[in-house]
Amino acid sequence: MPACRIWLKNPLAIYTANHFDASGGLVLNGGVIEQLLGAGERPAQACDQVFDAREHVVLPGLINTHHHFYQTLTRAWGPVVNQPLFPWLKTLYPVWARLTPRALKLASKVALAELLLSGCTTAADHHYLFPDGLENAIDLQVEAVSELGMRALLTRGSMSLGEDDGGLPPQQTVQQGQAILDDSQRLIQAYHQRGPGAYLQIALAPCSPFSVTREIMRASAEMAEQFDVRLHTHLAETLDEETFCLQRFGLRTVDYLDSVGWLGPRTWLAHGIHFNPEEIQQLGAAGTGVCHCPTSNMRLASGICPTLDLIAAGVPLGLGVDGSASNDASNMLLEARQALYLQRLRYGAEAITPEKVLGWATQGSAQLLGRPDLGELAVGKQADLALFKLDELRFSGSHDPLAALLLCAADRADRVMVGGQWRVIDGQIEGLDVAQLIADHRQAAAALIRDPAMTR
């Protein structure tokens, strides 16, 4: 397809994530941003298309840095609605162990579609369930990402420490170490793209300290170094996890991470709530990042991530929706809203602004994923954009368009562009039969929990 120069003209408001003036709009060419225009400026060269954005608030495409796509099948499931993390996991693991290839593909498409409609253009997923028959789970997710036309960092998760060995997961959900490592290498070599504009990447992601052995943690770090890919895991989400690490390894969570070679700039951690001041400094010195998941942390009553303390120490910080059984949505703009309000409880209204939180959802999240080509509107960056209208009743009487996105609870983009291609137009995903997807997904969700043992 020949390059097409597009002028996104005179937006109602625009957030660039870098303080550049783009009030006159953007010029896009060949899937990247070619020019930023100040008020009254015009493109340096003739454009093939002009899109009048005077009714739109324009953001960089939002970036979700932690999810579990498969969990869309167990949203708002009664037995776990009021449980904290460890009992929540113990109740859900037997259900998730019956996951089928078809169900995972449907779950992934639902999660990705919901993210895309919320203005998210890049998503990281943490998949760690590989029961018999689901050995090619990541391959199925690759197909779903390609069908939606989004960017993704798919993390090859793992669980090797089952209940019989003192871990949390049931034995039918864990794998042997060599099988984990062999499949991890296969996926990197088959799918991992490098350089600016990459659509698909792979990272290595042992599930958590309480679900994998020390050996798998070390081997994953060594493989990530060998193949130059990123590392991801859950850490310091609850005090129960801290107790587990002390009892099993004789170390607190950050010291344990250091002992297995994980402290470094290629690592980002989900949650990061229960760190002491010394651990925060350790993370900052290492350049290890943290993904804040406010809705999940509130739903499971896990605690509040110390975001500003982490940033002050030099820790990269981004946002993630977490799995759709602890959120229970896949909406990045609503996640930013939750981050705004939850963090104000900790740091005050003046310290946590809409612009700061949108920065976590864009530029900060891009840093976590090692993507300097994403997360901001600047010359040479990828043309990933989310455009929102403020024409619904909820926005009537609002005055600051950018603040209104979060304060008035915008939850659906009018248009979304990935790599210069419109993926959402007039609030609809191009080429996706959403009604059929919902019908198929609901059927798969019902089948997953139909086992009488699950409903007694």
Q: Which of 344, 368, 392 is the last residue of a domain?
A: 368
What integer best gives the mean pLDDT of the chain? 95
Phi, psi of 436 (to 5 degrees): -70, -40
The answer as to whether 374 is a domain residue is no
Q: Is 448 contained in some domain?
A: no
Q: How many helices (H) and strands (E) does the chain have?
A: 16, 18
Q: How many independent structural domains does the chain possess?
A: 2
- Report field, pTM of the whole predicted structure over 0.85: yes
At position 377, the amino acid (one-letter code) is L
Predicted confidence (pLDDT) per residue in 324-378, tens digit: 999 999 999 999 999 999 999 999 999 999 999 999 999 999 999 999 999 999 9
pLDDT, tens digit, for every residue of 192-225?
999 999 999 999 999 998 889 999 999 999 999 9
Nearest partner of 2 among 23, 42, 31, 44, judged by Cα: 31
Q: Which residue has the higher pLDDT, 139 or 172?
A: 139
> How many residues comprise the chain?
456
Task: Report the pLDDT value the prediction gives residue 168, as an integer from 0 to 100.
Answer: 76
Is 436 part of any domain?
Answer: no
Q: Which 3 state secondary structure label does DSSP give 217? A: helix
Sheet holding 267-271, edge to edge: 62-64, 120-127, 151-158, 200-206, 231-235, 267-271, 289-292, 317-319
In a domain, 303, yes or no: yes
- Give the range among 64-68, 141-145, 223-227, 247-251 with minimum mean pLDDT: 247-251
Q: With pLDDT > 70 as the criterion, what percentage of the chain qualifies? A: 98
Same domain, yes or no: 103 and 34: no
Q: What is the pLDDT of residues 37-57, one digit of tens each?
A: 999 999 999 999 999 999 999
Nearest to 156 by CA among 187, 134, 198, 111: 187
pLDDT at residue number 172: 82
The domain that holds 107 is classified in CATH as: 3.20.20.140
CATH number for the domain that contains residue 405 = 2.30.40.10
Q: 299 and 355 in one domain? A: yes
Alpha helices in 20-119 (DSSP H): 85-96, 101-117
Domain range for residue 217?
A: 62-368
Q: Is residue 11 part of a domain?
A: yes
pLDDT in the model for residue 448: 95
Q: Are residues 239 and 269 in the same domain?
A: yes
Whether residue 220 sits in one domain with residue 130:
yes
Tens of pLDDT along 4-33? Answer: 999 999 999 999 999 999 999 999 999 999
Kindly state whether residues 321 and 357 are assigned to the same domain: yes
Are residue 24 and residue 143 in the same domain, yes or no? no
> Do residues 402 and 424 both lie within one domain?
yes
